[in-house]
Structure 1
Amino acid sequence: MGSEQGLRFHVLGAVEGWAGDARLRLGGVIQERILVTLLLEYGRLVPVARLVEAAWDELPPLSAEHQVRKAISDLRRRIPGGAGVIVTDGPGYRAESAEFGLDLSEFARGLRLAREAVAEERRSDAVVALREALALWRGPVMVGRGGRVIEAAAIVWEERRLAASEQCFELRLALGEAGELVGDLRALVSQHPLREAPRGHLMLALYRAGRGVEALEEYGAVRALLAEELGIDPGARLAGLHEAILREDPDLAPPHRPASAGPDGSPGPAQGIRALPYDPPDFTGRNEELELLLDHVRRPGGEGTHVIAIDGMGGAGKTALAVHAAHRLAPHYPDGQLHIDLRGFTPGESPFRPGAALESLLRALGMPHQPLPGSAEERARVWRAALARKRVLILLDNAADTAQVLPLLPASPGCLVLVTSRARLVDLDGAEWFSIGMLVPEDSTALLAEMLGAERAAAEPEAVAELAELCGRLPLALRIVAARLRNRPRWTVRHLVERLSHETRRLDELSVGQRSVTAALELSYQALGARQRAVFCLLGQHPGVEIDVWSAAALAGTSAREAEDVLEHLLDVHLLQQHTETLYSFHDLVRSFARSLWAGTADGDEADGVVARRLLPYYLGATEAACAALFPDRLRIETGFPVPDAGLPSFPTPEDALAWFDREHHAIQLALNREGDAADQRCVLHLSRNLAFYFYTRSRVEEQATQGVAAVRAARRLGEPRLLSLSLNNLAVSHWRLGHFPEGVEAASEALEISRRSGDRQHEAISVGRLGLLHSALGHIAEALSFLEQAVVLRRESGDEVGAAESWTNLSTVYRWLGRFPEAAGAVERAVRINQRIGSYDNEKMALIELAATRLGTGDVRQALDILEQALALGDETRRSENHALALAFMAEARQLLGERENALHDADRALELVGRSGARLRSSEVENIVGRVHRGSGDPARALQLHKSAFERSTVLGYRVETACALVGLARAAEDVGDHQEAAEYFRQAHGLFEAMGLAASHRSWA
C-alpha cells in the first residue's frame, strides 16, 4: 500500500485517486493526462516534452512547458504528500511508486505471480493470481479521455490484459473446467472476434461440455469472418483443433480434476462451528423468497461451490432472510456455518479487503492467533485448502462488489455461499440471484402483529396497516416503530400513526428508499432524553465497527457507568445492536442517520474535532496502558496527557492487552487517518508509536512502518529534537524488518545527528545501535562492527540495559560471521543474562537463538538444541513470529545434524510456514537458507536448490549481502550433490567474491 495517508491510484479504467476513504479531486483533463502518464511510467523519469505531448497531442500551446509545471504543482497540492509522490527528476518528473498503491502495479504483480506459478507447475495458484489481476480492470485506461500518447500506452496494457485472460482460460481448461467457461469465453470472443486463441478455447470448452456441434459452428464462423475481413484462413493451431474435434480425438478429453488438498498444517474447519448471527424468533414474511431460495439450494449442483446472492435496498431485510435461510439449512452443512460482514456499504468505513476478510474467516476456522500469510492470494489458497472436501455454509453479508467476494469463495462442491449486497453483482458468475424489495402489505402487518402481540394488533387493524405503509414496509423501520410501541404500552397504534403523519415535511420521504428509514429513526431519536440524544449523535462519529463502554464514555465526555446506561437504552430501542456481551454496534443505516443529525446541529462544524479532542487522547491512554502490560521493558517516554476522566480499561495480563489491541487497532488507525492532521501532534506521535509496537509484536511490518512514518511526521511538526530522534530510530527498525536497509540507514543517521547535536547520549546510543544493525544487513561488516561496539559502551553508560542487551546480541551475530566464535558466545551470553535479570522475554528469546547459532558454528549441536528448546519455551509463535520461525529453522538444522531426520523436516516445514506468514522479509531469506541446508543434509538436494534459489533472489532484491552469499554457497553445495560441478564452481566463485568484498572470506565456511 501507499503512504501514511493510505494513498492509492486507479488507472485501469477512469483515473481515480484515493486518500483513505476520500476520493481526490485531481483537476481537469490536463492534470489527469499528466498524472496518468506519470503513473503509467511509475518509478521512471518522464521528460517534460513527453508530458506536453501527452497533455495536448500534436497541438500544444506556446506556454505548454510552463502549464505542465503549473499542473504538476496543482497535482502536488491536491494529493496528500504530493511533493513526495511526484518528484522532480532532472529534465522531468517521476511518480515515486513507494509513496502510493497503484492498480497497474498490482496487475503487473499478479502476472508475475502467475508466471512463477506456471513455471513451478502450480496451475491453480496461477489461475487465482490471473483472476485477481484481471478483476482490477474497470475499463480502458482513461476511458477515451487519454489522448494519443496515453492511448498508445494503453494499447500495450490492453494487450497484456487480453493475453492474461487467454492464459487464464487456457489454464482453467487444463485444470478440467469446461462448461462453466462457455459464457465468459463467448463474451471475450464477441469483444475480439478476430483473435484465434479465445475462439479455440471456446471450441474446446464446448466440445468437452458435450456440445461438439456448437464447437464446429464456432470454427465455421471464425473461418468466414477471417476470410471476409482479412482474406486469410484460420491458423494451423485452430485448424488442427477443428480436425481433432471432427475425429473425436481422445487427446481432447478433459483432464482429471483432483480434489484440492491444502499444504500440511492447513487449518480445517472445526467440527460443529456455529458462527451465524442470531435468528430472531419473530422473523415473518418472505415466505415466497425463502422457499425459492431453499429450492435452489436443494437442486443438484455442478462441480463448484453453490452461490446464492440476495440484493435489495438498505433495510429491506436481506441479512434477516439470509440468516433465517442459513439456520434452516444448517443441518445440511455439518462441518460448520460461518458469517462475516464485509462492510461494503457501511457509512464512513472502507469495505473489508479480501485479505482482511480471509483473515477473519480463517480465524473462525481455528486460527485465532496464528500469523497468516501476508497476501490475499496466499490466504485464499489456505482458505480453499481448509475447506477442501468439506460441507460448510458461509454467509458473506454486505458485499461491495464481485472483486471483494471472489477470493472468499471456496472450491469445494459441498459448500454453500450466501451473499447479500445492496447492488446486484451481475458479474458474479454462476450465482443464483434473488432481488427483494419492500414487504408485501400482508407480511408487513404480520410482522407488526408478531412484534406487538396479536391482541394489540387485532384491536387496531386499520392503524396497523397505515403504520406499515408509513414505514415504507421496510423491516428495519417496522421493527423500530414496534419497539417504540412496546416500550410505550399506553400508546395506541393510532397515536403513533398520527405522530408520523404530523411530520408533514417527511411524508413524501416515507415511501422512497432509505429516507423512509430516516423518518422511522427520527421517531426513536426524538423519544430519547436530551443527554441520550447527544450521546447518540456523538457515537455516530466513532470510527470503529464495534464500540466498547470506555471509548463511548471518552467520546461522550462522561463516566463509563453513565455511558453504559445510555448504550443499554439505545440497545433497547433498537438504535444499537449487540453481537457480544461488551461490544455495541450500529446498523449501517442508523450510523448514517446519527451522523446526519450531528452534521445538522449548531455544533456540526466541530464534528471532526470531537474525535481529535476526545477519542484520540483516550486511545493514547489506553494504548499506553496496554503497552505497559505488553512491553514492561520498553523505553518510557512521558506523553504529557493525563488519564481521561472516563478512565481506562484494565489489562491484568499481557494477553488481555494483546486481545484489546487486536480488537481496537483498526478503529485507532481510522481515527488517526481522519483526524491526525487536526489533532495534537504530540498525541498523534505517541499513539502512532504505540500502534507500531503492537504491529511489531504481531509481525505486521508494513503497518508498523506506516505508523513509524506518521510518528516522524508528527515529530517534525512539533519541532522537538528528542521526539524526532526517537521516532526516526523506531522507523529505522521498521525499515530493517522490511529489508529497506538504505532507508533505515538514512533514518538512523538523521537521528544520530540530532542526538549528537543536542547532547542526548541515550538516543545517540540507540541510533548507533540501529546503524550497526543496518550496516550488518548491508554487508558493511567493518562499519557494523564499529557501530555495535560503540553502541554497547554508550548504552551501558546511559544505563539502558534493554538496549545494551540488544546491542550485545547484534554484536554477537557479526562476531559469528567473522568466525570469532569465543567473542560471539561471550557477547550473547551477556545479553542472555541481562534479559533474564530484567525479565525481557522476547529479547531473551532472540539472544538464545543467537547463542544456539554460535554453538552450531562451533559444532556443539546438542547444546544448541537444548538452548533452542529454552528459547521456544519463552513464547509462542503469535509474538514476533519471524523470530519463532528462525528458532525452528535452527532447531531443524540441529536435529538433522543429530540424525533426527523426521523431526528435522517437520520443524523445517513449520519454520517456512511461519516466516511466510510474517511480513519480515529479511528473516525469510535466513530461514530459507537454513532449511535448504537441512534438506540437503537429509538427502534432498533438489529441494535445497529451490530454497537457496528463493533465498538468493529475495536477499539480492533486499541487498542483504550476507544471506546472498550464504545462498550462493548453498546453491553450490546442492549443485555438487546433483552432479552439476560446473555450475557449482560458478556459484562458489560468486560466493567467494561476495564474502571477500565483505571481509568474511576466511571465516564463512564455518557457518555459511
Structure 2
Amino acid sequence: MTDEALEPDRGTVPADAAAPPAFVGRRRELKELREDIARTGLDTLSGRKAKAPRARVLLVAGRPGSGRTALAEEFARQTAPDYPGGLLRARLTTSGGERVPTERTARELLEALGEPTPPGADGDELTSALRAALAGRRALLLLDDAADAEQVDPLLPDDSDCLVVATAEGPLTGIPDVRPCTLGGLDTPAAVELLTARIGSVRVTVDPRAAETLAEECAGQPAALALAGGWLAAHPKASVADVAKQLHDMPAERGALARAFRLVYESLPAPAQRTLRLLPLAPAGAVDAHTASALAGCSIAAAQSTLEDFAALALVRPAADGQYLLPGCLVPLLRALLETGERPAEVQLARARMLERTVRLLQSCLAVIEPDGEESEVIGSPLPGVPAPGGRSAAPPRALRFPDARAAGAWLDGRLPVLTAAARLAVADGELDTLARRLVAALVRALAAHRGTDAAAPELYGLHGLVLDVAERRGLHRERAAALLNLGDLDHDTGRTRAALDRYRAALDAGRAANDPYATGRAMESVGGAYQELGDWHRAADWFGRALAQSLSRGERADEARLNGRLGSVHTYAGRYGEALRCWRSAAAGYRKLADVPGRARALSEMARVQEYAGRPEESLHTCRAAIDLAREAGDQRLQAALQVRLADTLDRLGDPAAARLHRAAADRLLGDDPAACEIRSASG
C-alpha cells in the first residue's frame, strides 16, 4: 500500500461529529471525590490527633491513559468555586518520566501566587515560603503525575481549609488520610459517547454493537478510544467493526493503548512517522511548528500541517500559543520507536537542529527587544568567548522574525519553561556543549533584556549553574570564573554572603588558572566586598588593596578610582580616618583625570564626611562647597541637596545657624521635602 493511500483524508470528518468532549463519564468517581472532602479523617477515627492541621489530600490513581488527569481537572473545575484562594497546578513528572525537583515545583507555585522567589533558594526554604503563602488562603492545588509521597508531602499546605488533588499511578504511602480513587476503564455508555463525539453518530447508529466491541477492545481507556476515534475520523470509509477487528487481531500482550497507537502509527505516511518518532526529543513534551520543523528537517508549513494531523488523531493535544503537548502515556511507546527506528547519529543531528533553531529564535527575540545591543565578551556576561546574539548580526529569515518587541516578549514569557527545559537537556546531553553554551548565553541575554536582571534573577541563577556545569566538565576556566562570579553576585544580593564568598574565592582560582587579569581583579574586589558586608574591615581592606595593586600595574584608571573609593569606605567604617582621607583624595584625583565630574563630586562629598568624623569641620566645610560646585556642574540635584543639608549641619556645629537655614532652604528648593534626597551614598555603591 502506498503512502498516499495511508495518508489521512482531509476535510472528511462527518458533519454531525462534534468537537471531542473534554470529559465524559466518571460520575461515580466524581461523587466519591466530592464526598471524601468532608469525610472524617482516619486519624480521627482511630483516636489519634494529627500533629498539625493539614490540607485534605484526594488521590486519583490509575495507569497512564486511564484519564486520571482529565478526571482530576474536571473535579477541580467543579470544585474551584468553593476555593476562592485560587486553583494552582503543577506537574511533578516530566513527559520523559523524570521527577521534577521539589524546588522547581515550589518556585512555580510561588510565582503563580505572585510571591517572590529568591534566586538560589533551596527546596526547604521555598516549600516553607509556599506554606506561609497558603496560610489562611482557601486554595485548591492540583498536583499531577506524582511519582511518590516524597514529592507531594513537602508541598502540602498547613491549612485544613486548603484541598490537594493529586494524580499518581499507585498509592501515596506515607501521607495520612489519603483514600485513593482508583480508575479502571470507562463504562460502555461513556466509552461509546466519547467515540461518537469523535466520529459522529452515523457509524455508531448503524452498528451499535460494533461500537461496544471497539470500546471493549480499547478496555475503556480514554487514550486508546481517542486514538481509535481519531483514526476512524480520518478514514470515513472504514467501519467501526473493521477497526475493532484490527485491534482484536493484534497481539494481546501489547495492551489496549499500545494496540490503538500501533493502528494509528502504521496508517501514517513515512515522513509523518519519522516526525512522530522524533517528538519525544522536544523539551518538556511541548512542541510547536518550529520545533517539529527542526527535528524532522522539513519546512515550517509542513511541520504545522503535520502537527494539526497529529492533533486530529489524538497523538498530541493542542495548547496555547500554537504549542502542542505530547501525552505522557504515549512517550514510552514513542521512545521505543525512536530507539529502533532511528540511528543514534540521526537522533543527535535532530537534537542539534532543534537547539540551533532555538538559539536563532532567541537571537531574533533579543534583536527586537534590544535592537541597538552590541556584542560583548566581558566576564560579567554569561559566557565569555561566546559572541553575543543580536547587535550587528545578519537579519534572521522571515519565518524566525518577530513583528515587534511586545510579540517577542510574549513569546519569551510563554516559552520560558520550554526554553529552560531545553537548556537543561542540552547541558545534560554532554555531547552538544557548544550548542548548549550558545543556547544558555542567548537565553540569559534575552531574559535580562526583557525582564531586567533583578526580575529575572531566579531564572538566571539556574542558567548560570548550567554554565558552571559545562565549564567544569570541559575545563573552561574563564567561563567557570564568569559563572561563579555571576552566581556569587546573586547569592550576595539575596543575603547569602558566606556562600557568595566561597563562590568568589573559587572564581579567583579559576581566573588565575585562565590567566585572566580581569577575572582575578573582579574576584578580588568581590571577595573584599563580601568581607565588607560581613563587617571584617581588615580583610576587606586587604582584598581591595590587592585588587588596587593589580589595577595600578595595568594602568586601569577607572578601576583605580573606584577601588580607592571602596578602600576609603572600609577605612571610614573602621575609624581609620587618615587612611580614609588619603584614599578618597586618590579617588577624587583619579576621577579628575578621567573627566568624570559626578564621580569626583561624590568622592569629595565622602571626603567631607570623613573630615567631619575626624573633627575637622572647617576643612569639611571647604570640601563640601567644592563638592556642591561639582554636583551643580554635573546636574545632580539629589547630591546638591544632600550636600546642602550636610553643609547646614556643619554650620550649626560651627555656630552659624543663619547660614545653616539658608542652605536648608536651598536644599528644599532643589528637591522639596523628600528626606531620601538628603542621603549621600559612598562612591563604592
Match of 2:568 among 804, 809, 815: 815
Query: Is the 1:768–1:787 Cα contact (8 Å) retained in structure 2?
Result: yes
Alpha-carbon separation, structure 1, partners of 2:521 and 2:284: 39
Q: Deviations over 1:835-883 (max 9, x none)?
A: x9xxxxxxx9xx99999999987899999994799xxxxxxxxxxxxxx
Give the 3 Å change call, closer, same or farther, for CA 560–453 of structure 1 in structure 2. Answer: closer
Query: Is the 2:521–2:550 Cα contact (8 Å) retained in structure 1?
Result: yes
Match of 1:710 among 469, 481, 486: 469
Query: Is the 1:359–1:372 Cα contact (8 Å) retained in structure 2?
Result: no
Give the 3 Å change call, closer, same or farther, for CA 737–290 of structure 1 in structure 2. Answer: closer
- Tell me by how many angstroms 1:585 deviates: 1.4
Aligned partner of 2:376 in structure 1 is 635
Q: Deviations over 1:792-818 (max 9, x none)?
A: 88586xxxxxxx877865553233223
Give the 3 Å change call, closer, same or farther, for CA 771–411 of structure 1 in structure 2. Answer: closer
Give the 3 Å change call, closer, same or farther, for CA 405–765 of structure 1 in structure 2. Answer: closer
Q: Does 1:375 align with 2:122?
A: yes
- Tell me by how many angstroms 1:441 deviates: 3.3
Aligned partner of 2:457 in structure 1 is 699
Alpha-carbon separation, structure 2, partners of 1:623 and 1:478: 39
Secondary structure, aligned partner of 1:540: helix
Query: Once superposed, what is the RMSD of the aligned Cα atoms?
Result: 4.7
Q: Does 1:352 align with 2:91?
A: no
Residues 199-214 of structure 1 mapped to structure 2, 5 A cutoff: none
Count of residues paired in the alignment: 558
Q: Does 1:587 align with 2:327?
A: yes
Aligned partner of 1:787 in structure 2 is 547
Give the 3 Å change call, closer, same or farther, for CA 624–451 of structure 1 in structure 2. Answer: closer
Alpha-carbon separation, structure 1, partners of 2:528 and 2:59: 55
Alpha-carbon separation, structure 1, partners of 2:296 and 2:504: 41
- Tell me by how many angstroms 1:526 deviates: 2.3
Give the 3 Å change call, closer, same or farther, for CA 426–811 of structure 1 in structure 2. Answer: same
Letter in 2 for 1:553: S
Letter in 1 for 2:279: L
Letter in 2 for 1:507: A
Letter in 1 for 2:28: E
- Tell me by how many angstroms 1:683 deviates: 3.1
Give the 3 Å change call, closer, same or farther, for CA 675–747 of structure 1 in structure 2. Answer: same
Alpha-carbon separation, structure 2, partners of 1:557 and 1:360: 33
Alpha-carbon separation, structure 1, partners of 2:640 and 2:361: 35
Alpha-carbon separation, structure 1, partners of 2:603 and 2:153: 44
Alpha-carbon separation, structure 2, partners of 1:715 and 1:370: 31
Letter in 1 for 2:68: K
Residues 808-887 of structure 1 mapped to structure 2, 5 A cutoff: 809=562, 812-818=565-571, 819=580, 820-821=583-584, 823-824=586-587, 866=638
Aligned partner of 2:171 in structure 1 is 424
Query: Is the 2:294–2:350 Cα contact (8 Å) retained in structure 1?
Result: no
Alpha-carbon separation, structure 2, partners of 1:319 and 1:391: 22
Give the 3 Å change call, closer, same or farther, for CA 707–452 of structure 1 in structure 2. Answer: closer
Secondary structure, aligned partner of 1:398: strand
Letter in 1 for 2:349: V
Secondary structure, aligned partner of 2:165: strand
Q: Does 1:532 align with 2:532?
A: no
Query: Is the 1:724–1:751 Cα contact (8 Å) retained in structure 2?
Result: yes
Match of 1:554 among 286, 289, 294: 294
Aligned partner of 2:524 in structure 1 is 771
Secondary structure, aligned partner of 2:96: coil
Aligned partner of 2:89 in structure 1 is 339
Letter in 2 for 1:351: R
Query: Is the 2:524–2:544 Cα contact (8 Å) retained in structure 1?
Result: yes
Aligned partner of 1:610 in structure 2 is 349
Alpha-carbon separation, structure 1, partners of 2:594 and 2:178: 59
Letter in 2 for 1:635: S
- Tell me by how many angstroms 1:674 deviates: 3.5
Letter in 2 for 1:440: D
Match of 1:396 among 129, 143, 147: 143
Q: What 5-or-longer segments of structure 1 have no aligned partner?
A: 1-278, 510-514, 717-722, 756-762, 797-803, 837-843, 870-897, 905-929, 931-1003
Query: Is the 2:481–2:506 Cα contact (8 Å) retained in structure 1?
Result: no
Aligned partner of 2:75 in structure 1 is 325
Alpha-carbon separation, structure 2, partners of 1:450 and 1:692: 46
Give the 3 Å change call, closer, same or farther, for CA 569–733 of structure 1 in structure 2. Answer: same
- Tell me by how many angstroms 1:403 deviates: 1.5
Alpha-carbon separation, structure 2, partners of 1:857 and 1:421: 66
Q: TM-score, normalised by structure 1?
A: 0.48
Aligned partner of 1:663 in structure 2 is 417
Match of 1:564 among 304, 312, 322: 304
- Tell me by how many angstroms 1:434 deviates: 1.1
Query: Is the 1:311–1:436 Cα contact (8 Å) retained in structure 2?
Result: yes
Query: Is the 1:546–1:583 Cα contact (8 Å) retained in structure 2?
Result: yes
Give the 3 Å change call, closer, same or farther, for CA 595–737 of structure 1 in structure 2. Answer: same
Query: Is the 1:682–1:715 Cα contact (8 Å) retained in structure 2?
Result: no
- Tell me by how many angstroms 1:477 deviates: 0.6
Match of 2:434 among 676, 682, 685: 682
Query: Is the 2:217–2:247 Cα contact (8 Å) retained in structure 1?
Result: yes
Q: Deviations over 1:63-96 (max 9, x none)?
A: xxxxxxxxxxxxxxxxxxxxxxxxxxxxxxxxxx
Query: Is the 1:732–1:745 Cα contact (8 Å) retained in structure 2?
Result: no
Letter in 1 for 2:137: K
- Tell me by how many angstroms 1:736 deviates: 5.9
Alpha-carbon separation, structure 1, partners of 2:212 and 2:182: 24
Letter in 2 for 1:712: A
Secondary structure, aligned partner of 2:142: strand
Query: Is the 2:525–2:544 Cα contact (8 Å) retained in structure 1?
Result: yes
- Tell me by how many angstroms 1:563 deviates: 2.2
Q: Deviations over 1:89-118 (max 9, x none)?
A: xxxxxxxxxxxxxxxxxxxxxxxxxxxxxx
Alpha-carbon separation, structure 1, partners of 2:563 and 2:146: 48
Match of 2:36 among 270, 275, 296: 296
- Tell me by how many angstroms 1:460 deviates: 0.8
Give the 3 Å change call, closer, same or farther, for CA 850–462 of structure 1 in structure 2. Answer: farther
Secondary structure, aligned partner of 2:284: coil
- Tell me by how many angstroms 1:406 deviates: 1.5
Query: Is the 1:541–1:607 Cα contact (8 Å) retained in structure 2?
Result: no
Give the 3 Å change call, closer, same or farther, for CA 685–392 of structure 1 in structure 2. Answer: closer
Give the 3 Å change call, closer, same or farther, for CA 638–432 of structure 1 in structure 2. Answer: closer
Query: Is the 2:187–2:220 Cα contact (8 Å) retained in structure 1?
Result: yes
Aligned partner of 2:618 in structure 1 is none
Q: Does 1:453 align with 2:200?
A: yes
- Tell me by how many angstroms 1:671 deviates: 2.1
Q: What 5-or-longer segments of structure 2 have no aligned partner?
A: 1-18, 45-52, 378-384, 492-498, 532-538, 572-579, 613-623, 642-670
- Tell me by how many angstroms 1:578 deviates: 2.4
Aligned partner of 2:234 in structure 1 is 487
Give the 3 Å change call, closer, same or farther, for CA 749–452 of structure 1 in structure 2. Answer: closer
Alpha-carbon separation, structure 2, partners of 1:809 and 1:352: 44
Query: Is the 1:623–1:690 Cα contact (8 Å) retained in structure 2?
Result: yes
Higher relative contact order (CA 8 A, sep 6+): 2
Q: TM-score, normalised by structure 2?
A: 0.69
Match of 1:412 among 139, 155, 159: 159
Q: Deviations over 1:114-164 (max 9, x none)?
A: xxxxxxxxxxxxxxxxxxxxxxxxxxxxxxxxxxxxxxxxxxxxxxxxxxx
Aligned partner of 2:110 in structure 1 is 362
Secondary structure, aligned partner of 1:489: coil
Aligned partner of 2:60 in structure 1 is 310
Alpha-carbon separation, structure 2, partners of 1:313 and 1:325: 18
Aligned partner of 1:521 in structure 2 is 261
Q: Does 1:386 align with 2:133?
A: yes
Match of 1:728 among 481, 485, 489: 481
Alpha-carbon separation, structure 2, partners of 1:461 and 1:852: 91
Alpha-carbon separation, structure 1, partners of 2:122 and 2:220: 43
Give the 3 Å change call, closer, same or farther, for CA 855–576 of structure 1 in structure 2. Answer: farther
Give the 3 Å change call, closer, same or farther, for CA 705–519 of structure 1 in structure 2. Answer: same
